[in-house]
Amino acid sequence: METIETILTRRSVRAYLDKTVSDDDLKTILKAASQAPSAGNAQPWHFIVIKDQKILEAIPAFHKTAPMVATAPVAIAICADLRLEKYPGCWVLDCAAAAENLLLAAHDLGLGAVWTANYPLKEVEAGMRKLFNLPDNIRSHSLIPLGYPAHPYQAKSYYQPDRIHNDQW
């Protein structure tokens, strides 16, 4: 798939087939996420690949906006190591860039995925910290369930020309 086509046709996918995602595809997705830009090239991200069905099913108990994770064959949690951060607070942006790369790579491989926020939702961050035994220096940024889409979906344009400003507001 061409880059622009991948970007313009990616959709949030919340229903997945009961089909395993290959380790090769997961590695490709994680490599793409790791290529994201970061402030000062700090690359503060860490990724937790979650395949254990019991863990996936436990997450919606505290992550109310992620019920789909219970039926996904895999999810990837994006976390940040604050000790690696060069510019305080930029870990949020760094991890968001990694998340977007991850979503685009998954789509390019024919997988569906959806971004769900952990940060700044305190109860979700606390649940992730407890479930994954995260050290104090690690912050939980987002959770991305992924798998093969259960239903076909159409691309949708979100381009809004009235939100484009040239040279000034």
- d(CA 31, CA 26) in angstroms, rounded, equals 8
Residue 13: inside a domain? no
Residue 47: inside a domain? yes
Residue 142: inside a domain? yes
Residue 6: inside a domain? no
Q: What is the pLDDT of residues 113-156, one digit of tens each?
A: 999 999 999 999 999 999 999 999 999 999 999 999 999 988 99
Please tell me the total count of domains within the chain. Answer: 1
Residue 164: inside a domain? no
Q: What is the pLDDT of residues 21-80, one digit of tens each?
A: 999 999 999 999 999 999 999 999 999 999 999 999 999 999 999 999 999 999 999 999
The amino acid at residue 85 is E
Task: State whether residue 79 is helix, strand or coil.
Answer: strand
Domain region containing 78: 19-150
Rounded to 5°, angle at Cα 19 from 17 and 25? 115
Residue 64: inside a domain? yes
Q: State phi, psi for 109 to the nearest 5 degrees.
A: -90, 5
* Alpha helix positions (H), the chain: 3-9, 23-34, 53-58, 91-108, 122-132
Residue 160: inside a domain? no
